[in-house]
Structures are given as C-alpha cells and as structure tokens.
Amino acid sequence: MMRSAIVTFGLLMPLSVAAAQSGPARGPADAAGRRETQIGWWREGRFGMFLHWGPVSLTGLEISWSRANSNPKCPNKGPTPVEVYDHLYQKFNPVRFDAREWVATARAGGMKYMVLTAKHCDGFLLWHSQADSYNIGNTPFQRDVCGELAQAAHEAGMRLGWYFSPMDWRDPDFRTERNAAFVSRMQKEVQEVLGNYGRIDLLWFDWDGREPLYDQPNTYALVRKLQPDIVINNRLDLGTGNKNTEIRNPNADYYTPEQQIGKYDDQRPWETCMTLGTQWSWKPNDTIKSTREVIHILARVVGGDGNLLLNVGPMPDGRIEPRQAEVLRQVGSWLQANGESIYGTRGGPFKPTSALVSTRKGNAIYIHVLKWAGEKIMLPPLPKKIVKSELLTGGTVSVTETDSGLTLTIPQADSRNADTVIKLTLDGSAQEIPALDVTHPGVIKPNMKATASNVYRRNSAYGPSKAIDGDDETRWSTDGGTKQAWLEVDLGQPVTFDALEIDEAYARVQSFKLEYQDAQQWKTFYQGTTLGEQFSAKFDPVTAQRVRLNVLSAIRVCPEWHFHKPYVALSRRALATVRGSFKYTCFLRRFTARGSTRSGRSLTRWVATARRTAAYNSFLRSGQDQPAAAKATRVCKVPLKLRSRGQTPTVAAAWAISLRIKL
C-alpha cells in the first residue's frame, strides 16, 4: 500500500531572513495589565496603513537611507549628497495632498489605523515646528501635514499614530558630547507632535542599530503625560546587538518584525511592518505586491497572532499612487466579505504554515487555505466538538472528525484563488485551545538527511539540511554564479510517490531532472525545463529511499549580491540599470566591471553617477523588467512535493526556487 509523501527541497540565493525570536520577559505585572487594556483597539484592528513621505519623494529613492553620511555615529551612507538631500524641501510642493483622501484610501483598504512618518531619520518634520526650522512650514507647500491628517482622521473615526525617529542623522550634536542638547530639542519635538493635534493613538519609534541615547525614562514619561492611553512600540530602547523582536522596557507595548512575517506568538503582542512595494518611500515604476500577496501576508500575520502595518509611499504631488490604492481597494473588498476572520481575532489554534493559517474568536475557528493540492485538508484533532462548518467565501465544506484528526473536504470549484476561508463553530470557546502544530502526513522525519554539491560560502546557515527542516524561512543556497547543482535527500526508508509540485518564485532553473537511486545507479523519473510558480507533474509510481534534484542549467546572476534599491551594472559598452531586492543585512561584496573588481564603496559612487544619466531616467520611466543582459543568478530555492495517489500533500512556502521534504 502506498504511503503519502511530500518531498520538498530548497535552494536560494543568499538572502538574510531574521526569524522573530523571543526577547526578554514582558515586564512587571501591572505594566502587562496596562498593556493588555490599552492595546485592545489595536489588537482588534489587526490591519493598519504605514505612510513614509517627505521631500525625498522628489528623488524616488529611499527615505533617509539615500542621504550621504554627515555623522560617523550614524549608519546612513546614501548616494544623494548632503547638500542636495537637505535642500530638497525647498522644492517640495505636494499640491495634490488631500488628508481626507488618504483616510478614505485606508478605509477602503479595510485598514483600522494609520501611522505617518511625522519625523524620519533625516530629521525633516511634517508639522509646523518651533523646535526646528527644517519642517513643512518652510517649504513652498507650507501647510501642516500632520495637522490636516489628524483632523481628517478624527472626523472619520480613524485611529492615528505618528512614526517618530528619535534619531536625527542631520543633527551635528547627535551622539556627540553635545548629545544632551540634541535630546532637549528632540523632546521638544515630541511635545509638539503629541501635544498639538488632539488624541494620538500610537507612537512608532524607530532605531538604527546604534547606541540609543534618548534619555528614555524622561522621554517615556513625557509621552505618557501628553497621551496617557497611547500605544508605543518597542524600538526606543533598541541598540547595538538588539533585535526588533525584543521588548526591553515595560513602557513598550509590542515588538516589530520588519519586512517579514513574525513567528507564531500569542504571549507577546507584535506587528509586522512591510512595504507594498520594494522600498519605504515612493519609487517610480516600483514593483508592488498583488492583491493576492497582500491577502496572504495579512492572513499569515494575523494567524500568527500579529498585526500587519502595510506601507505605502505617497508620490511627490501628495497622492497615494493609483496602482497602490487599487490594490488596497481590492484587499478591502475581500475584507468586506471575510473580515470576521481577521478583525478582533486571535491567532491559532493551528500554528500557521505558508499554505494554511487559522484565527479564532469566541466559539469560532477560521481556517484560511492559501494553497491547494487536491480537495482534502488534514488537521490535528480538536479538544472540542465542531457543531457547524461553512465557507465564508461561498460553497460547501464537509468535516470528518476522528480521534486522529480532522479532514476537511472542499470541492475544487469552491476553492478560491486568494484565500478560502472555512468557519468552524465549536461547542465551546476556541480561545481555550492551546496552540497546535500542524503535523500533516508530510511532516519531515528526523532521520532524513540531505547533501548538496555546493553550499553558499560553505556556511551551514545555507546548508542542504535547511531544505528539509520544515522552516519556511530557511533554504539551501549555492555560491554566486552557480549554473549547475544537485540536492540529494535520504528519506530514511523506501517511500512510494507518484506526483510532485514545485513553487519557484524566481524563474532561474532552465532545465532539471528528478532522479532516484536504484542499486547504486541514479535513474531519471522526471525531466523538465523551467519550473515557475506552482509547477506540478504526475508520473508512474516510484519507490525509493534516495531522491535527487539535479539542476542541469540555471540563469546566472551577479555573484553574491541581493539588492534592495535600484542599482546600476556597468558593462564594457553601456549602462544597464537593473532592479532587484536587497535585505539591509546583506553587504555588496563584489562588483566586477571593465574587467576589474570594485568595492562596495566604489560601486556606491558609480551608482550615484549613473543615476544622473539619461539611461537611468529612461529606464525608470519605462518600467521595464531587468534587461536580459543583466539577468543572472545562482540556483535558488523551491518546494517540491511527492505524494501518493489520492492523497493531499501539505503545501510549503515558495522562496525563489524552493523545495521542501515532508513525510
């Protein structure tokens, strides 16, 4: 008799993904009690709008980080010269800014609160300030953006918060022997932005990985005096060696994973902040997330018991870009039909995967199915009885309960592309159920082993075991420029399978074979070319203990790079401007052009020059994809699943070419 098996391997170009980790204890009991009371509205809302905006939108580059460094105690080393960046405000005239329209866009997107960058790390203030003349009142626009947004939000009943950077990379006193003078000015800014605009619901501090010299006790006291019921994030206390998943002060209410979905945590409040595009401030012709992607991210965050603060970057004229507004409108439309499974819920009881998450409220559990493979879903048993089942998205669902687990069956016609939401009503409170690991028939066994032909810099963090560890955030990676590679998995015992699925986020693989070992020989049981997202195939049943993915050819990229901002690759003949995605934690190790190796610093200078060229401007206007000559990368990461006939595999996450094993 054949057993159900899902085989998934993972390979990806190096990309740092910091998993949310537990921080210190939450603080005294009275602080914890205050926190739970004050964050009630915030936890109920679950979904907020982040807005990063300022004069930097005129350049289309990243806010603050694109500014050149003028203080060695600060981390920014951007390409825009200080004398240029600091005078952008003189040309900033967003005549189409309409605070009520911003609020209406957030409401249409189903967002329950808004957070604006009243002051980012570059020090520019979006309100009329007496503490610093570097503010919106001294631009051609002159109007008080914070004041107008506060009025519009209050009129609409929208919760409002300010992002406030305690750092000021422009201030020459910051982190020097004159830091006390800086702190005094900073606290005057806090006094203004929290004291002049009525009720402010949330304060979102930031950090930069350097020493936090902000007179925290008095700064917190000032904030609580001005807005006693305000919700505050965790970043005022973070510094060198800390993580954004730590809560280090009883005054901090929640922690803040950035650009990633936090791990399941129903003990400490948390909020993922993430961009709709590829950078925080507005970027011309940016690649933005689809409606489906946003819905999946929202469901996975809330299923992990967190909030999602989704960022948009308004344009230089003050409007939220129509493309971004349309995505939000479609997400809002989905929430109109499915909002009961998001708003006011807690995560669980089933811990989230990339394919399935759950939320709960009262006696109800909501199952969000994000990826389908067949019509059946297998879940662990519940300690309470299901008295009713229904699809919020329409259609029928049947539920079979046994001592070993639940089986949910939904006809393929009733599954939805974005998110199929199943509501299970129990005979008691769903909140009382402890969190449950989703251990499908495809869960990896500890006796499995993986080996590979190549590992990125021989770093165990990217080793072959990461392809089969069941963690969606890890992967096997190869060195830059690798065009051929193999990943072999020992299943521990012979297993029979007859189907596979592969999700490839970045179309790198050009040809591959799937092989099994028979009497010391490798035999091919499937061969293909490109993979792409949700690739699947059926084949005659195969019984084997050792299985191998053999990548015969892959598109080659610039070695060992991942890019966050637009970058410029200089060839012998021309400039080719390319887009990509870069994690802040990565470092530009090497840049080869005109037959020589350039340092990261040299590359920055080249980029700064190239950005002023007509070629770069033309590329931004065109919105085209990466030029073919500039496309190239190592073999990356994929989920591959092998399953037996009539069995439903568990779907794993896709990060580029991503293959995972589950048995």
Cβ neighbours for 621, distance < 8 A, ≥ 6 positions apart: 284, 285
pLDDT of residue 456: 83
pTM, rounded to two decimals:
0.74
The residue behind tokens 């971004």 is: 324
| Euclidean distance between CA atoms 661 and 117, whole angstroms | 43
Ramachandran class of 412: left when φ > 0, alpha when ψ lies in -120 to 50, beta otherwise: alpha
Per-residue model confidence (pLDDT) at position 351: 94
Q: What mean pLDDT do residues 505-523 have?
A: 86
Tens of pLDDT along 487-499?
Answer: 898 988 888 877 7
Q: Give 538's contacts (C-beta < 8 A, 6+ positions apart).
A: 498, 499
- Distance (Å, whole) CA 74 – CA 313: 24
Q: Which residue has the higher pLDDT, 465 or 529?
A: 529
pLDDT of residue 415: 81
With 90 as the cut, is the pLDDT of residue 125 above it? yes
Contact 401, 375 (CB under 8 A): no
Residue showing tokens 């297998």 = 378
The position carrying tokens 């304060």 is: 203
Please name the helix (run of DSSP H) or strand (run of DSSP E) that holds residue 522, with its range, or none: strand 521-528
State the Cα–Cα distance between residues 210 and 320, nearest whole angstrom: 32
Higher-confidence residue: 617 or 632? 617
Percent of the chain clearing pLDDT 70 (strictly above): 74
If you average pLDDT over every residue of the chain, what do you get? 80
Question: How far, in Å, CA of 600 to CA of 619, rounded?
Answer: 23
**In the predicted model, is pLDDT for residue 98 greater than 90?**
yes
Quick check: helix, strand or coil at residue 439? coil
Across the range 81-104, mean pLDDT stands at 98
Decide: 269 and 35 in contact? Cβ < 8 Å: yes
What's the pLDDT score for residue 468? Answer: 78
Strands 356-361 and 346-347: antiparallel
What was the pLDDT predicted at 479?
Answer: 80
3-state secondary structure of 312: strand
Quote the CA–CA distance of 289 and 298 in Å, as a whole number.
12
β-bridge pairing 271-275 and 307-312: parallel
Region at 374 (left for phi over 0; alpha for psi -120 to 50; beta for the rest): left
Q: Tokens standing for 478?
A: 């190869």
> Residue 424, SS3?
strand
Name the helix (H) or strand (E) containing 183.
helix 179-195
Residue 587 pLDDT more than 50?
no
Task: Tell me how far CA of residue 12 lies from CA of 40, 351, 468, 504, 507, in angstroms.
Answer: 40, 25, 13, 10, 11
Distance of alpha carbon 594 from alpha carbon 632, whole angstroms: 18
Q: How many Cβ atoms from other residues are within 10 Å of residue 322's Cβ?
A: 9
Per-residue confidence at 234, pLDDT binned at 50, 70, 90? very high
**514 or 477, greater pLDDT:** 514
Q: Using CA atoms, how far apart are residues 172 and 168, in angstroms rounded to an integer? A: 9
Residue 490 CA to residue 446 CA, distance in Å, equals: 11
Q: Is the pLDDT of residue 218 over 90?
A: yes
**Does the CA dihedral 368-370-375-381 come out positive or negative?**
negative
Q: Cα–Cα distances in Å, from 472 out to 18, 109, 159, 469?
A: 12, 28, 34, 8
Q: What is the pLDDT of residue 650?
A: 28
6 or 473: whose pLDDT is higher? Answer: 473
Could you identify the residue written with the tokens 């080869």? 592
Strand 521-528 to 509-518 pairing:
antiparallel
Structure confidence at residue 471 (pLDDT): 63
Residue pLDDT, tens place only, 367-424? 999 987 677 888 999 999 999 999 998 889 999 998 889 999 998 888 877 899 999 9
Q: What is the pLDDT of residue 485?
A: 87
Strand pairing category for 364-369 and 420-426:
antiparallel
Among left, alpha and beta (phi > 0; psi -120 to 50; other), residue 400 is beta
pLDDT band, very low/low/confident/very high, at 502 (cuts 50, 70, 90): low
660 vs 140: which has the higher pLDDT: 140
- Distance between CA atoms of residues 639 and 122, nearest Å: 41
**Phi and psi (nearest 5°) for 162?**
-110, 135
Distances 401 to 380, 432, 553, 622 between C-alpha atoms, Å: 10, 19, 47, 55
* Number of alpha carbons in the 13 Å side-chain half-sphere of residue 291: 17
Q: Tell me: cis bond preceding 349? Omega within 30 of 0 counts.
A: yes
Q: Which residue has the higher pLDDT, 433 or 561?
A: 433
The total number of residues written for the chain in this structure: 663
Task: Name the DSSP class of 479.
Answer: -
Identify residue 40 by its one-letter amino acid code: G
Mean predicted confidence (pLDDT) in 491-510:
74
Q: What's phi and psi for 519, nearest 5 deg?
A: 55, 50
Looking at the predicted structure, is the pLDDT value of residue 128 above 90?
yes
pLDDT for residue 189 = 98
Q: Which of 57-61, 116-120, 476-480, 611-615 has the lowest mean pLDDT?
A: 611-615
Alpha-carbon span 488 to 9, nearest angstrom: 9
Residue 11, classed as helix, strand or coil, is strand
**Residue 430: predicted pLDDT:** 98
Q: What is the pLDDT of residue 477?
A: 81
Helix, strand, coil fractions of the chain, as percent rounded to 5: 25, 25, 50
**Residue 24: what pLDDT?**
37
Tokens read off for 362: 């009262």
- Give the closest residue to 559 by CA, choosing from 635, 453, 657: 635
Q: What angle do CA 635, 636, 638 make, to 5 degrees?
A: 125
Query: CA 81, 121, 73 angle in degrees (round to 5)?
Result: 75
